[in-house]
Amino acid sequence: MSIEKLNQVLLHASARVGANLDEWRAGPGIDGLEKALGRVGGGESIVEMIKAAGLLGLGGSGFPTWRKWEAMAARPGQGDKYLICNGNEDEPGTFKDRLLMEECPHQLIEGATIAALAVGANKVIFYVNPHLKAALQAMELAVEEWLACELPKRVGEALGRPVEYCVVRSSGHYIGGEESAAISTIEGSFPFPRRKPPYPVESGVHGHPTLINNVETLSNVPHILRNGVEWYRDRGLGEACGTKIYSLSGDVLHPGAYELPMGTPLSELVYHYGGGMLVGKELKAVFTGGPSNTILTPKDIDVPMDYPSVAARHSALGTGAMIVVSEGTGIVKRVTEYVNFFAESSCGQCPSCKTGTYYISLLLDKIDTGRGTRSDLDSLESLCRILPGSGRCHLVDGAVKVLESSLYHFRGEYEQALL
């Protein structure tokens, strides 16, 4: 499928016509919301349409979007119901959401509004990392435009109560992107993750049912409503549905954000869209989904970039970030940098996470600088066995996952670095 055939989706077209609400309405905008308003209370529900389209959570989990929506829609609607659009994006190598917020904020607001109609949410919150200054400004201006037009009133009439929109700045911490930490921040507390259950759809902001979706996920919704289920499904390759924005960085000639059919081979992203490796360099590894996931090696370059296919290679697609590493780059050094990021990002609530990531970082630094011993390597492997699942969120799991994967693929580099 050529990139021209994707020009009605997400970033490509929206960047040209979504600078303000009038331009968005004159182009592809609001048609999806109009169709959603027509579906409220009759015919095939919006949730059923999203289910049939096969839309997944594109913030990293790949969880079927309709499952969250269905659970939220089933919650009693007497009190407030919240919808949070998660725009905290703070993981190294991931930069798709900030582009969507900067370039096409009205697309996102329309998608969030359709989701609110689908689940009965009357409070819509755009949760944005304050470090993403351009994205934050774009969202604040866009929300002001929506509040000044007739659309919120029409949506409120369909819901049976007024709908409210606001932008909330996240704490700016990496951990602030975890969904229960986002809830804590919105409530005015420190972004400590919470134990689950209860899940946000059961008890979220101030105890009310709360739906949390990623920026890219909600940005797909208007196009599905406007163009239909089959249109969206046909844009994927193989069994995959829709498109995905892949954040390509590292040792390639043309790094950037590329919206491609879900299931596009990794080789096509790296060598066609990314222009191939830097001159004189050979591919050594790709960190998939950012540094909190596992590593692919040249033997996996043919993998289709969809959630099941990447999982079948014992890796994870995650956010769609692909960090390319060339021969000559030390894997131990790169993993040390990433684990240092996790150690510094731990909120400190769970001792196993705070101390575990610290000691992994300490041991990796010893090995990377030539001071490590066989005992240090054994300790790393021991920590990989005992730490997973010990924290309230997945931060420590991410640190362990990338370490384990590097040990599996590049154990020789660790061995060579020992005293």
Which of 38, 63, 22 has the alpha carbon at shortest distance from 117?
A: 38
Give the other-Cβ count within 10 Å of 174's Cβ. 24
Beta strand extents in 2-132 (DSSP E only): 82-87, 123-128
Report helix, strand or coil for 295: strand
116-164 tens-digit pLDDT: 999 999 999 999 999 999 999 999 999 999 999 999 999 999 999 999 9
59-76 tens-digit pLDDT: 988 999 999 999 999 998
Name the helix (H) or strand (E) containing 245.
Answer: strand 243-250
Tokens of 1: 């499928």
Instruction: Reply yes or no: is the peptide bond before residue 198 cis, omega within 30 of 0.
Output: yes
pTM comes to 0.94
Domains of the chain: 3-233 (3.40.50.11540), 243-326 (3.10.20.600), 331-417 (1.20.1440.230)
Q: How high does pLDDT run on average in the chain?
A: 92
Bridge-based pairing state of the strands 283-288 and 295-296: antiparallel
291-343 tens-digit pLDDT: 888 899 999 999 999 999 999 998 999 999 999 999 999 999 999 999 999 99
Confidence class of residue 7 from pLDDT cuts 50, 70 and 90? very low
Residue 350: C-alpha distances to residues 13, 158, 353, 357 (Å): 44, 44, 5, 11
